[in-house]
Amino acid sequence: MVEYPITRAENGKKLHRFLRQNLPGLPLSGVYKWIRVGRVKVNRKKGKPDLVLHEGDTVQLFVSDEEYAALRRRGPKFQGVPRTFEILYEDGDLLVVNKPAGLLTHPDRQEHRDTLINRVLAYLYDKGEWDGRAFAPAAANRLDRNTSGIVLIGKHAQALRELADALRGRRVDKRYLALVHGRIETPGTLKQALIRDHENNRTRLAGEKRGRHGVAPETLEAETRYRPLAVAERLTLLDITLVSGRTHQIRAHLAAAGHPLVGDIKYGGKPLRGLRHQFLHAYALTLADGRRFVAPLPAELRKLLESYGLSTDVPAETSTST
């Protein structure tokens, strides 16, 4: 006998659907037959196909280990998608990962296969936590291709909805490390509204450029708080709190302030010692319930800081001064 405890992710599923998702090698006719002859029980009682499962229930499958393993084998849905990514935390609701620079969070027109979310889906598919048909786990926050750091994945609809609500309500503390050009001696806040230029994939300060035919594009409120951690030559390492979450917000705000990110060629930054993408790392994130996750600096960024004699330890504080 194989026992399967029902988690929050499976709460509310009907028994026949649960079996189809977890035993993809068993045809639907076989699912109904197993239930009918008593090879499937719920809490040690004979079930019915439309029985609704609840968190805390236990499904018993009267099957040998060999047969169970064979029925759980899955097809090549994610053939060629790497399974490599760093997991910082995982439970039945949430997956917290450390995205490397160079990897898209979601597919776009140029790359639709090897993305962070596809790697995560392949991983959950292989584990049997997602069947490829039900609600697809998704990222609650998004990082630019060349920004590294923490991404939150909601494993089911309710978890994703709660994460999205917390982010919209600004109940999630998001912290970044950025290396910028120029010297910054004191903490500050950048509160300029932004506009998004989708055609050129750029973000600008509101009022900096008007849209076609003189119509101003939509403006979005944006707030970025920063605190200098160290200065070396004409470079400053900043600890940044992202209050709002606009596309390219940190990059556009700091560039407009005269301090573009090192390596951020799109916004006026210059590459240093081989780093040709922006030095921006989402190093810490604290949820509304107090759980805090920290992503170590990538080796490439750590070596660059060391070359200038700057500390590579992430800050211990959980708030940024204004």
Q: Count other C-beta atoms under 10 Å from residue 44's C-beta.
A: 8
Neighbours of 92 (CB within 10 A): 15
pLDDT at 214 over 50: no
The continuous run of DSSP H or E covering 161 comes out as helix 157-168
Rounded to 5 degrees, what angle do the CA atoms 100, 134, 31 make? Answer: 130
Tell me whether residue 275 is in a domain: yes
pLDDT single digits (tens) 21-78? 778 778 888 889 999 999 999 999 998 888 999 989 999 999 887 787 777 765 556 7
Among 144, 165, 197, 239, the one annotated catalytic: 144
- The secondary structure of residue 313, as a DSSP letter, is P
pLDDT for residue 207: 74
Q: Are residues 197 and 124 in the same domain?
A: no
Residues 196 and 110 in one domain: no
Domain-terminating residue out of 130, 149, 165: 165
What pLDDT is attached to residue 45?
92
CATH number, domain containing residue 19: 3.10.290.10
Closest CA to 177 of 314, 294, 311: 314
Residue 318 banded pLDDT, cuts 50, 70, 90 = very low
The answer to whether 50 is a known catalytic residue is no
Question: Cβ neighbours of residue 289 under 8 Å, at least 6 residues apart?
Answer: none
Supply 112's token pair.
């639709």
Q: Which of 37, 72, 107 is the last residue before a domain boundary?
A: 72
User: In terms of domains, do 43 and 18 share one?
Assistant: yes
Q: Is residue 264 part of a domain?
A: yes
Q: 45 and 152 in one domain? A: no
Residues 159 and 32 in one domain: no
Handedness of CA 50, 53, 58, 61 (dihedral sign): positive
Task: Tell me how crowded residue 58 is: count the other CB atoms within 10 A of its CB.
Answer: 13
The number of angstroms, rounded, from the C-alpha of 156 to the middle of its chain's C-alpha atoms is 14
Mean pLDDT of 250-264: 97
Residue 34 belongs to some domain of the structure: yes
pLDDT in tens, 89-135: 999 999 999 999 999 998 876 777 889 999 999 898 888 788 666 67
State the CATH number of the domain containing residue 288: 3.30.2350.10
Do 212 and 139 fall within a single domain?
no
Which of residues 72, 101, 116 is at a domain's end?
72
Please write the tens of the pLDDT for every residue from 151-192: 999 998 899 999 999 999 999 999 999 999 999 999 999 999
Q: Same structural domain for residues 226 and 278?
A: yes
Looking at the structure, do residues 193 and 282 belong to the same domain, yes or no? Answer: yes
Residues 302 and 178 placed together within one structural domain of the fold: yes
Residues 96 and 26 in one domain: no
Provide the residue range defining the domain that includes 125. Answer: 86-165
Report yes or no on 266 lying in a domain: yes
Tell me how many domains the chain contains: 3
Together in a domain, 159 and 200: no
Domain match, 8 and 98 both: no
Note whether residue 145 is domain-resident. Answer: yes
Greater model confidence, 125 or 259: 259
Query: Domain for residue 319, yes or no?
Result: no
Token digits for 316? 């211990």
Q: Which pLDDT band holds residue 148 (cuts at 50, 70, 90)?
A: very high
Please, is 233 exposed, middle or buried when counting C-beta atoms within 10 Å of its C-beta (0-12, 13-18, 19+)? exposed
Contacting residues for 287 by C-beta, under 8 A, at least 6 apart: 166, 171, 172
In this prediction the pTM is 0.74
The answer as to whether 321 is a domain residue is: no
Task: Classify residue 46: in a domain, yes or no.
Answer: yes
